[in-house]
Amino acid sequence: MRVELLTNAQVNAILPNKNQSLRVVHVSTRKVLNMTYTGHRNDHYDITPSTPADAQILEEILGYQADGRWSRKVDLRRWRALEFVVNIGGRWVAMGWCPYMHAMRMGTANPGSKYPNSSNTRPATGWPYGGHGCAYASNSVGGAGDAPNAAMSAEDNAFARQVQKGARGGQARAAAHAAYRLGNHSAFLTFLGTLGGTSQPTQPAVPSTTLRQGSRGSEVIWLQQRLNAHGANPKLDEDGSFGAKTNTAVLAFQKRNGLAADGLVGPLTRAELTKQPSTATPEATPTAWKPKVNDVVDFVGNTRYVSTGSTAGKKANPSKAKVTGIANGRNPYHVIAISGTGGSNPVYGWVEAKDVKK
């Protein structure tokens, strides 16, 4: 097995129909995700994360941080082009992928974008809800880029020009060549051999650090999936965002399993979440028995009342009795002693619910 460096014409010959998911590996981090091919051919290919779990992995690659901010300066080159290998038709193909293109633009014209805006925070929505990037093969010349966007600030447009300058300079083509060169190292080829190639459901990462409210990413998706498997009620959205609902579910899980209920998902909580959920069916809570009119019951008390709701009791002895009336509130049952029971003071009147047994 080797990573191949193909031309656009060669990619076109093996590329599947649109809206099909492809297995993708970011070469330098070896992060694996699924990307859906959504359109275009010949000079470039639009691909976007297939699921929210895949989107979270891509954000981690791009430099989106748990504190809700983008790493602009450090990760600028990542916004220009990423070295990816893509499994197309069972063949691993080296490609360069530019995340900042077209629908990645920030502003009212493209509300689905996740381009870093002027406040350097994450927009509320984005991929896979419309945002996409452009993948390039070995002979691509790089995209021309978008014109300035009136919906964006001057700062954002300046950042956009920096990013697109890299694409126009052929960085996408260079990224494809880098993916080919690095992808054919023996250790990386061994890693590819463990993946099985074709698109598979993305498995969120098991947390390696303590998660808490405000955390984001694929590790939080793992947490939400495990909480749901253990019966979180209501069921959580597996969106990678550790919000109030996830925090409530964590607290409930910790209490239920005898852990410190602090909302922090550290080693102890993580170990408990990793366990197989119990498949035992909880015992049904028995319905409280209530007598009906004409039922024969055991009167086990020693007081009867002249009227329902009364607090002025009179002496009565335990006996077998028949229910002749039912009311709400205090002293709800009117009972008459069965002949021959109750001694010299047989019950005849309204009695407390606790004194009536089946």
Q: Is the pTM of this model over 0.75?
A: no
Q: Is the pLDDT of residue 130 over 70?
A: no
| Beta strand 303-305 pairing with 313-315 | antiparallel
The amino acid at 9: A
Instruction: Tell me, yes or no, whether 256 and 301 share the same domain.
Output: no
- CB-count exposure of residue 218 (10 Å: 0-12, 13-18, 19+): buried
- Token pair 């002749």 is found at 324
Instruction: Tell me, yes or no, whether 234 and 115 share the same domain.
Output: no
Name which residue leads in pLDDT, 246 or 167: 246
Instruction: Tell me, yes or no, whether 257 and 332 share the same domain.
Output: no
Whether the CB-CB separation of 23 and 34 falls below 8 Å is answered with yes
Name which residue leads in pLDDT, 212 or 141: 212
The predicted pLDDT at position 281 comes to: 46
Instruction: Tell me, yes or no, whether 41 and 168 share the same domain.
Output: yes
Name which residue leads in pLDDT, 267 or 69: 267
pLDDT tens string 253-262: 999 999 999 9
Instruction: Tell me, yes or no, whether 110 and 250 share the same domain.
Output: no
If DSSP codes are grouped into helix, strand and coil, which group holds residue 158? helix
The predicted pLDDT at position 17 comes to: 74
| CATH number of residue 254's parent domain | 1.10.101.10
Q: Which residues contact 276 (CB under 8 A, 6 or more apart)?
A: none
The predicted pLDDT at position 201 comes to: 52
Residue 1 lies in a domain: no
Share of the chain above pLDDT 90, in %: 22
CA distance 241 to 218: 9
pLDDT interval class at 147 (50, 70, 90): low
pLDDT interval class at 166 (50, 70, 90): low
pLDDT interval class at 161 (50, 70, 90): low
Average pLDDT, the chain: 75
Instruction: Tell me, yes or no, whether 149 and 56 share the same domain.
Output: yes
Instruction: Tell me, yes or no, whether 152 and 257 share the same domain.
Output: no
The predicted pLDDT at position 221 comes to: 80
Q: Is the pLDDT of residue 268 over 90?
A: yes
Alpha helices (H) in the chain, listed in sequence order: 8-14, 52-62, 76-80, 154-168, 171-183, 186-193, 218-229, 244-256, 267-274
Q: How many CB atoms within 10 Å of residue 108?
A: 9
Cα dist from 180 to 74, 189, 315, 339, whole Å = 24, 11, 97, 99
The predicted pLDDT at position 106 comes to: 36
Instruction: Tell me, yes or no, whether 52 and 149 share the same domain.
Output: yes
Instruction: Tell me, yes or no, whether 24 and 74 share the same domain.
Output: yes
Q: Of the given ranges (106-110, 148-152, 206-210, 228-232), which has the lowest mean pLDDT?
A: 106-110
The predicted pLDDT at position 125 comes to: 42
Residue 248 lies in a domain: yes
Q: Is the pLDDT of residue 241 over 50?
A: yes
Instruction: Tell me, yes or no, whether 270 and 125 share the same domain.
Output: no
Instruction: Tell me, yes or no, whether 105 and 161 share the same domain.
Output: yes
- Token pair 């290919």 is found at 45
Residue 204 lies in a domain: no
Instruction: Tell me, yes or no, whether 269 and 179 share the same domain.
Output: no
Q: Is the pLDDT of residue 146 over 70?
A: no
CA distance 162 to 328: 77
Name which residue leads in pLDDT, 90 or 102: 90
Number of domains in the chain: 3
Residue 291 lies in a domain: no
pLDDT interval class at 341 (50, 70, 90): confident
pLDDT tens string 280-320: 444 444 567 889 988 999 999 999 998 888 888 889 999 99
Residue 71 lies in a domain: yes
Query: Could you tell me which of 38, 26, 23 has the C-alpha nearest to residue 133?
Result: 38
CA distance 242 to 212: 7
Owning domain of residue 343: 296-357
